[in-house]
């Protein structure tokens, strides 16, 4: 079951006809300490008590499960995987481009408040004013805030693109930026790392815990802080020579989330459960 948000899943857990059937649950919800989460722990403890295994996306969801008193022995990390083999070659291909490593920022995501598009555009405008030769910002996605991209100096809107097209766009950019206001465990951060892109993202991005190491393969910044995000973009601009090496390091971190490793984790948990 993919969590507890839907009534049908909760009903399955309490169905007497399925009482003897082991239940597994997947969770990417991070622990945020909100009043709703604090109050909800009483109800949710009763739900997760009926589950034999909980697969979490990363550390923040793991912490949430522990606060719901799920035993460590029942929790497994790594609910998500990516097509790592499609992204991994991009690092070398990008390094061999005629003009060298591209000096271009890239955003991929919904054009929505959750993805922090307004903060990103504000930060990018600040960044442009702080340097003499600003890099372009490419944006891939769709959503109700798409009109905010129109007429923005230096911003190129690629719109919604299919996976194969996204790979081509990633090859032609040098650094990835995600300014989310709320993002439990964005897979696009993993994909950007797999593609060998240094990553700048906000602290709310749950996958940054596992994938982004400050000044090693990217930078994390305070959520909703356009000035800090602009500063991170300026830092990347001023250290363009480091981007290939930072991208290589990120690719190694992303390898742990390949489809092959994802399959291994699930298969081994199944074997372990059958013993």
Gap between the Cα atoms of 96 and 106, Å rounded:
19
What pLDDT does 247 receive? 98
Gap between the Cα atoms of 233 and 155, Å rounded:
14
* Maximal CA-CA distance, the chain: 68
- Site of tokens 């702080």: 130
- Alpha-carbon distance values, 217 to 58, 78, 243 (Å): 19, 21, 8
First to last CA, the chain: 22
Domains in the chain, ordered, with CATH?
7-79 (no CATH), 84-257 (3.40.50.2000)
C-beta atoms surrounding 174 within 10 Å? 23
Instruction: Give the contacts of 122 (CB within 8 A, at least 6 positions apart).
Output: 226
What pLDDT does 187 receive? 97
What pLDDT does 19 receive? 87
What pLDDT does 10 receive? 87
What pLDDT does 224 receive? 97
DSSP E strand boundaries for 7-70: 24-27, 53-56
C-beta atoms surrounding 222 within 10 Å? 12
C-beta atoms surrounding 106 within 10 Å? 25
* pLDDT profile of the chain (275 residues), mean per 10: 87 89 93 89 88 95 95 95 97 95 98 97 98 98 96 96 95 98 97 98 97 98 98 98 98 97 94 83
3-class SS of residue 50:
coil
- Site of tokens 């000044």: 215
Gap between the Cα atoms of 275 and 100, Å rounded:
53
Can you give the pTM of this predicted structure?
A: 0.94
Gap between the Cα atoms of 163 and 224, Å rounded:
28
What pLDDT does 6 receive? 86
């Amino acid at each position: 079951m993919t969590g507890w948000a839907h009534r049908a899943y909760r009903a399955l857990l309490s169905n007497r006809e399925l009482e003897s059937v082991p239940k597994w649950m997947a969770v990417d919800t991070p622990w945020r300490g909100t009043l709703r989460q604090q109050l909800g722990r009483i109800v949710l403890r009763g739900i997760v008590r009926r589950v034999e295994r909980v697969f979490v996306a990363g550390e923040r969801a793991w912490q949430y499960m522990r606060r719901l008193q799920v035993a460590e022995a029942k929790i497994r990390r790594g609910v998500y995987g990516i097509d790592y083999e499609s992204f991994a070659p991009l690092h070398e291909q990008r390094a061999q481009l005629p003009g060298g490593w591209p000096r271009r920022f890239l955003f991929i995501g919904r054009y929505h408040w959750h993805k922090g598009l307004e903060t990103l555009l504000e930060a990018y405008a600040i960044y442009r004013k702080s340097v003499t030769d600003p890099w372009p910002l490419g944006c891939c996605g769709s959503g109700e805030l798409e009109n905010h991209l129109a007429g923005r100096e230096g911003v190129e809107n690629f719109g919604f693109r299919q996976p194969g097209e996204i790979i081509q766009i990633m090859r032609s950019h040098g650094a990835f930026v995600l300014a989310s206001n709320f993002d439990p465990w964005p897979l696009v951060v993993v994909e950007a790392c797999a593609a060998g892109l240094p990553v700048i993202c906000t602290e709310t991005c749950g996958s940054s815990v596992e994938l982004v190491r400050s000044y090693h393969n990217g930078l994390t910044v305070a959520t909703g802080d356009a000035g800090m995000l602009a500063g991170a973009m300026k830092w990347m601009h001023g250290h363009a020579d480091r981007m290939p090496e930072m991208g290589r390091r990120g690719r190694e971190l992303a390898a742990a989330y390949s489809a092959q490793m994802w399959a291994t984790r699930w298969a081994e948990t199944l074997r372990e459960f059958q013993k």
